[in-house]
Structure 1
Amino acid sequence: MNNGIESIFKSYLEPKEVYRGGKNIPASNKKIYKLSSNENPLGASPKAVIALKKAAEILNVYPDQTDIRLREALVADFNTQLVADQFICGNSGSEIIDMLLRAFIKEGDEVIYSNPCFLPYSVFSRWYGAVQVDVPLLESDYSLDVEGIIRSITPKTKIIFLTSPNNPTGTYVPKPVLEDFLNRIPKNIVVVFDEVYRHFADAKDYVSALPFVKEGHNIIAINSFSKTYGLAGQRIGYCYSTATIANYIRQIHKPFLLPITSIEAAIGALSDSLFIENTVKTVREGRKYLSEAFTSLGIKFWHTQGNFFIVEPPIPEFDFTDKLMAEGIMVRPVSQFGAPGKVRITIGTQEANEALVNALKKIKPHTF
């Protein structure tokens, strides 16, 4: 029976594309290398695991009412360049994105992003009735179309999403480009700068949002514990900004938001400098190895500053991923991210990377 409830549904929440995460490893008797979700190739920080196990002994107790202990640990991790009030923590970087949109967007406001990019920028914006403005990355090298974004700004523009390194392309926004961009946009616009892969970047002109936050720009940097620290399963992230912006956002931060296991694991992970160093070393060495292998095999790829590559196989992307899966390698098509015909491949351990290259060599006669 139709009771008329549909009349109060918001029109902009009609069924459309939704974000779907990467698949888990299927049940199989053979070895499967999961290179599809940009997870940490070394597992989780041992110090985080120890802290999590200890926290599991007191699951009957409510967690911290606020995130202050984790924010203080982040202050130390940032060498006291920021204060605790400039950090906000949440259940993953995705929830931080949602929180920022709730804080700044009302129906009819405009949000700018640049495909190919992380799908929640557009999906979550739609939840709040935002007008979505896609200014695609420049097709030749997936660099940011700065002039295109500037031209697209209107009085209704509230948020501009930038990502560096960008998922799924691995490209980044050089420091001079970001500096020039921030100085040119209107002062009432918030730039949400997604830097969850920042630890892996080694380009000389790579920059995080930190210096621009310190200068007082309206920029919010999103970070996650899922990549470098290996805590994807704990769903914990954070952002930092000016004290003015952070204190405004904190007004919608729920009490008891973070599970005690996530709080303790994150604090433990921040102290695990050896694990962080080994993770970054593994990714950068794997990046060099795979760059050389892709070049040798004649596979078109884009140079990356992340822990993944985007490649363009010479056959339809789903055929390509199916052939690799048959060889025990999971990779991810990224048409959903705005990159049709492309596939994203996570950098793994050396064993996994070699297995990938061997699989590519095996299917090459039939595809390249």
Structure 2
Amino acid sequence: MKKSIESIFKAHLEPKEVYKGGKNIPPSHKKIYKLSSNENPLGASPKAIAAMKAALDHIDIYPDQTDIRLREALVKDFNNQLAADQFLCGNSGSEILDILLRAFVSEGDEVIYSNPCFLPYSVFSRWYGAKTIDIPLLAPNYDLDVEGILNAITDRTKIIFLTSPNNPTGTYIPKAVMDDFMARVPQNILIVFDEVYRHFADAEDYVTALPYVLAGHNVLGLNSFSKTYGLAGQRIGYGYTTATIANYVRLIHKPFLLPLTSLEAAIGALNDSEFIEKTVQTVLEGRKFIAKAFDELGIKYWPSQANFFIIDPPFPEMEFTDKMMEEGIMVRPVSQFGAPGKVRITIGDQEANEALVAALRRIMKL
């Protein structure tokens, strides 16, 4: 009997939910403020741009075979608290997720995540035939359900995804909660701690993955150059973890992993502390400005530790998104992230933030 090519397709790759990134600014005769993708409101680091331009003279040759120069720059950025072999680099934080899943997950294994969250946790996991377990964040404040996660662990659990600050809610995991969780989670499970927005967190009890890595826990701090550093278009990210985990994962690293321009841009960005400080200050000031406006307008929102807010819009989410677009403001409905009816709004520069508030007043007729 003649068989079709579909007969050798992997069953777990049948069409399911697919991650779709934010939309680009459409052609328009009017000014459009893109507050939908959590990009840097100031653009990119001047030092990163200069490094990329210098690299253009050499794009006819292969880039570095490994990521060691970037890892050494990260050692310096982390004040020599970690060694170079504790870092992993890739083409975006999303690729680091993919590499980790390839390294740790086989068909039939389980991963745990907590909606609302970054959709690739579940989508990428299913690429490898994993069973995805959703332990939702607790209402009404989007708190981590520690007991729910611990109770969901089985012998097939390989990875648990935690995020702080969390996309799309902007909420975070307090240190006391994280301490309790790390003390109780089995030591044969990898904890992927997504801290992409860590630079914007100013809560006194905010904590990164760093102290847990330094203590020898099986945790990886996931980071990206797309937010604070303004290099979303270069697709570069990194993680840090124990040397044991990092050296294992490096076994499946491709040679010539990072494009030359991305590599040089990332190193340049790490050397631009002035730009990083200005970015963080812009976001923190904008966060206060927008929160105050939400209070005045009566818009329900959740306090954020990131460079965005999640809100209950004054109209159904798609109607609200369309109305804001008509006003020249791009925002992001986040039902796909597990937050039905909610909308995420990025903090921009002061001009964009003022335009956002003015648009809200107009559509709400205030």
Secondary structure, counterpart of 2:360 in structure 1:
helix
Counterpart position of 1:333: 333
Alignment of 1:132-171 (within 5 A): 132-171=132-171
Query: Separation in 2 of the partners of 1:175 and 1:63?
Result: 40
Counterpart position of 1:221: 221
Displacement of 1:78 in angstroms is: 0.2
- The CA deviation string for residues 28-81 of structure 1, in whole angstroms up to 9 with x for no partner, is 010000000000000000000000000011101110000000000000000000
TM-score by length of 1: 0.98
Displacement of 1:330 in angstroms is: 0.2
Counterpart position of 1:210: 210
Counterpart position of 1:261: 261
- The CA deviation string for residues 141-182 of structure 1, in whole angstroms up to 9 with x for no partner, is 011011111111111111000000000000011111111101
Displacement of 1:10 in angstroms is: 1.2
Counterpart position of 2:199: 199
Counterpart position of 1:314: 314
Secondary structure, counterpart of 1:322 in structure 2:
helix
Counterpart position of 1:89: 89
Counterpart position of 1:345: 345
Displacement of 1:17 in angstroms is: 1.0
Displacement of 1:3 in angstroms is: 4.4
What letter is aligned with 1:199? Answer: H
Query: Separation in 1 of the partners of 2:28 and 2:4?
Result: 48
Counterpart position of 1:72: 72
Query: Separation in 2 of the partners of 1:266 and 1:97?
Result: 19
- The CA deviation string for residues 318-368 of structure 1, in whole angstroms up to 9 with x for no partner, is 000100000000000000000000000000000000000000000113xx9
Query: Separation in 1 of the partners of 2:38 and 2:196?
Result: 11
Secondary structure, counterpart of 2:159 in structure 1:
strand
Counterpart position of 1:47: 47
Query: Separation in 1 of the partners of 2:3 and 2:255?
Result: 36
Query: Separation in 1 of the partners of 2:314 and 2:225?
Result: 35
Q: Are residues 1:126 and 2:126 paired?
A: yes
- The CA deviation string for residues 77-109 of structure 1, in whole angstroms up to 9 with x for no partner, is 000000000001000000000000000000000
What letter is aligned with 2:92? Answer: S
Displacement of 1:6 in angstroms is: 1.2
What letter is aligned with 1:179? Answer: D
**Structure 2 gaps, min length 5:** none
Counterpart position of 1:63: 63
Counterpart position of 2:230: 230
TM-score by length of 2: 0.99
Displacement of 1:199 in angstroms is: 0.2
Counterpart position of 1:105: 105
Displacement of 1:11 in angstroms is: 1.2
Alignment of 1:352-367 (within 5 A): 352-365=352-365
**Structure 1 gaps, min length 5:** none
Counterpart position of 1:38: 38
Alignment of 1:172-187 (within 5 A): 172-187=172-187
Displacement of 1:314 in angstroms is: 2.8
Moved over 2 A (4+): none
Query: Separation in 2 of the partners of 1:344 and 1:361?
Result: 18
Displacement of 1:12 in angstroms is: 1.2
Secondary structure, counterpart of 1:112 in structure 2:
strand
Query: Separation in 2 of the partners of 1:61 and 1:104?
Result: 33
Q: Percent identity among equivalent residues?
A: 75
Query: Separation in 2 of the partners of 1:351 and 1:141?
Result: 30
Query: Separation in 1 of the partners of 2:35 and 2:232?
Result: 14
What is the aligned length? 365
Deviates further, 114-123 or 6-15 = 6-15
- The CA deviation string for residues 14-39 of structure 1, in whole angstroms up to 9 with x for no partner, is 11110000000000010000000000
Query: Separation in 1 of the partners of 2:128 and 2:290?
Result: 41
Counterpart position of 1:285: 285
Superposed CA RMSD? 0.8
